[in-house]
Structure 1
Amino acid sequence: MDHLDKLEAQSVYILREAYREFKSLCMLWSIGKDSTVMLWLARKAFFGHVPIPLVHVDTHYKIPEMIEYRDRLALEWNLNMIYGENREALERKLTFPDGNTDRLTCCKYLKSEALKHTLSGEWPRYRMDHELKHYVQDEGKEPYTGVIAGVRADEEGSRSKERYFSPRDKDNVWDVGDQPPEFWNQFKTDFAPGTHVRIHPLLDWTELNIWEYIEREKISVVSLYFNQGKGIRYRSLGCYPCTNPVESEARTLPEIIDELRSGKFSNIAERSGRAQDSEDGGGLETLRRDGYM
C-alpha cells in the first residue's frame, strides 16, 4: 500500500465506524475539494451508495458554479441531498454584503446558526426530489447528532486540535480542552446522551494528499480551483464577498500538484483568501467553538 492507499483505508474505516455507532448521522458537504473527496470515500465505503444524508448550509452568497455543481452531482449520484439556511437573517439583510454586520457576525448568522438549527431540525430543511429534480421542503424533523465533516488538521490552527470523533454539547458548542485521547487507532464512540459528535475522516490528510487523490481517482471538482487564463485560482472556496483567489498558473491537476510540491504556498495559509479568518485573529476558533465547521 502506498501513502494514499493507507489514508483511504483509514478514512473508509472511520466512515464505517461512524455509520455503525451513530444512528442519527449526516455528512456535511461544502462543495469544496475536501468534502467532495470525503463524499467519494463514502461511495467507496458503501459500495457506490451513500446511505447518509448530505447536508449543505446555503448562505445564498456561494459562487453560482458551486451550487450548480452541488445539484448536478446530487442528481447524478442519487444523493439524499438536503440544504438549510437562515431565512430570517437573509430577509432582514443581517449580512456583511448588505453592510449591516461585520464578517464574523455574518458567518455566525448564515453559517453557525443555520447549521445548528438545520442539524436540530428546528428550522426548515429542503431535500432534493429526484423525480421533480428540484428541492422541496423536507417533512423530516429528526435531529442529526452525528455529523461527518471534511476537516483536515493541517488546514488551519483550530482544526489541528480536533479528534477523529470530537464531542460537542447539545448546543453544538465545542470545548477544545475536553477532547478524548486517540491512540493506536482506538477511538471513543460512546458518549453521554445529548452529546453531538463531529466525525472527521480526513483529519490526517494534507492539501497535497487531497489533490493527489483527486488526480488518481479522477474526481470531478469545481473549475474555480484552476487558472482559467487570468493567472488566478482558488485554493479554498466560500462565499464570494469574502473569498479571494491566489496568483497561480496551474490549469490542470498535475500543475496544481507540482505547484504545491514546489513550496510556493509553504508559508501561505490555505485559507488565506478567506477574509473572515483574518477577522477572527487569523484562525477560526471563535466561530468553531460556536458550531462552525
Structure 2
Amino acid sequence: MDRLDYLESNSIHIFREAFNQLKKPGMLWSLGKDSNVMIWLARKAFFGHVPFPVIHLDTGAEFPETYEFRDRYSKEWALNLIADSCPDISRTDETLPPASRFAARKSEGLKQCLKDYGFDGLITGIRRDEQSIRAKERIFSPRNADGSWNFRDQPPEFWDQFNTIIPPGGHLRVHPLLQWTELDIWRYIAREHIPVVSLYFARDGKRFRSLGEIGITEPIDSEAATIDEIIEELGLLKTEERAGRTMDHESEDAFERLRSSGYL
C-alpha cells in the first residue's frame, strides 16, 4: 500500500467510525481543496452518497468563482447543502485585529448552525501541517458547550482508539485529513481527478495557495497553471501554506484565540 492508499483507507475508516458514533453529524465545506478531497472521500466511504448535511458557512465575501463552484458541485454531487449566512461582524470580539475579527464571523456562524440544526458532531478538513496550533488537534476532538477548545488538554489517541465521548451540551470535531499534508492533497487530487476552484491555478503570474474570503486572502506569485505544476512548485516553496491569509500575520496569538474559541 502506497502513502495515498494508506491515507485514503484511514480517512474512510474515520468517516465510517464518525457516522457510527454520532447521532447527527454534519460536514463543513469551505469549498477549498481540502474540503473537496473530504467530500470525495465521504462519497467513497458511503458508496457514492454523502449521508449527512454539508455546511458552507457563508460570509457573503467568497470569490465569484467559489460560489459558482459551490452551486455546480452541490447539485452534481447531490449534496444536502446548508448555506446559511454568518452573523454580522458586530457579533464578534471587537478586541481582535480586523482580518481575524472578520474571520470570526465563521465562528459565530458555526455556533448558530449548531444551535439551529442540533449537530452533535462536525466533520472538518483541517490538517496538522497547515498551521502550528492545528498540530495539537486530535482526530476526534471534543468541544465544550460554547464551542471552545482546550488545546492544552487533549485526550490521547493510541492505536486508532478514539475518544467519542461528547461533552455535556457540546459536540465532537472529527478530522479525517489530519494526517495528510498539502502535497498529499494535491497528489490525491491529481490521482483522483477531483475538481477544485479555478483560483488555485495561476493567472497573470498569481494564484491562491490557500483560499479564503475576498479582502483577507492574498494570492502568491506563481506560474503553476496545472496540478502537476503545483506539485512541482510545492517542492521548491519555502513559505508557509497560509502565507496569503492576512489574519495569520496580524498578531502572534490571533489565530490561537480564534481556534480556542471555536474557529475552524
- Under a length normalisation based on structure 2, what TM-score does the superposition of the two structures give? 0.94
Counterpart of 2:200 (choices 212, 217, 225) is 225
Is 2:43 aligned against 1:13?
A: no
Change (3 A) 1:93 1:231: farther
User: Structure 1 residue 283: deviation in Å?
Assistant: 6.3
Counterpart of 1:107 (choices 103, 108, 131) is 103
User: Structure 1 residue 274: deviation in Å?
Assistant: 0.4
User: Structure 1 residue 93: deviation in Å?
Assistant: 11
Structure number with bigger Rg: 1
Structure 1 outlier segments of 4+, above 6 Å? none
Cα deviation 1:40-77 (Å, max 9, x = unaligned)? 00000000000010001101111111011011111111
Measured in 1, the distance between the counterparts of 2:217 and 2:184 equals 23
| Corresponding residue for residue 261 of structure 2 | 290
The answer to whether the 8 Å contact 1:29/1:56 transfers is yes
The answer to whether the 8 Å contact 1:164/1:200 transfers is yes
Gaps of 5+ in 1: 122-141
| Corresponding residue for residue 52 of structure 1 | 52
| Corresponding residue for residue 116 of structure 1 | 111
User: Structure 1 residue 106: deviation in Å?
Assistant: 2.0
The answer to whether the 8 Å contact 1:57/1:111 transfers is yes
Q: Secondary structure at the match of 1:27?
A: strand
Cα deviation 1:231-288 (Å, max 9, x = unaligned)? 1111000111011111111111111111112xx22x3110110001112427621111
| Corresponding residue for residue 207 of structure 1 | 182
The answer to whether the 8 Å contact 1:28/1:150 transfers is yes
Is 2:11 aligned against 1:4?
A: no
| Corresponding residue for residue 78 of structure 1 | 78
Measured in 2, the distance between the counterparts of 1:76 and 1:38 equals 16
Cα deviation 1:72-119 (Å, max 9, x = unaligned)? 1111111000012235x26x799x9xxxx82222222x2111111112
Is 2:250 aligned against 1:254?
A: no
Measured in 1, the distance between the counterparts of 2:253 and 2:99 equals 13
Q: Secondary structure at the match of 1:167?
A: strand
Change (3 A) 1:200 1:248: same
Among all aligned residue pairs of Structure 1 and Structure 2, give the percentage whose two residues are the same amino acid: 51
The answer to whether the 8 Å contact 2:100/2:255 transfers is no
- Under a length normalisation based on structure 1, what TM-score does the superposition of the two structures give? 0.85
Counterpart of 1:196 (choices 171, 177, 190) is 171
The answer to whether the 8 Å contact 2:128/2:134 transfers is yes
The answer to whether the 8 Å contact 1:150/1:201 transfers is yes
Measured in 1, the distance between the counterparts of 2:210 and 2:85 equals 21
Q: Secondary structure at the match of 2:56?
A: strand
Change (3 A) 1:66 1:221: same
AA aligned opposite 1:114: G
Counterpart of 1:216 (choices 175, 191, 204) is 191
The answer to whether the 8 Å contact 2:58/2:83 transfers is yes
AA aligned opposite 1:61: A
AA aligned opposite 1:106: F
| Corresponding residue for residue 63 of structure 2 | 63
Measured in 2, the distance between the counterparts of 1:93 and 1:68 equals 28
What RMSD over aligned residues (CA atoms) do the two structures have, in Å? Answer: 1.9
Is 2:139 aligned against 1:143?
A: no
Measured in 2, the distance between the counterparts of 1:190 and 1:201 equals 17
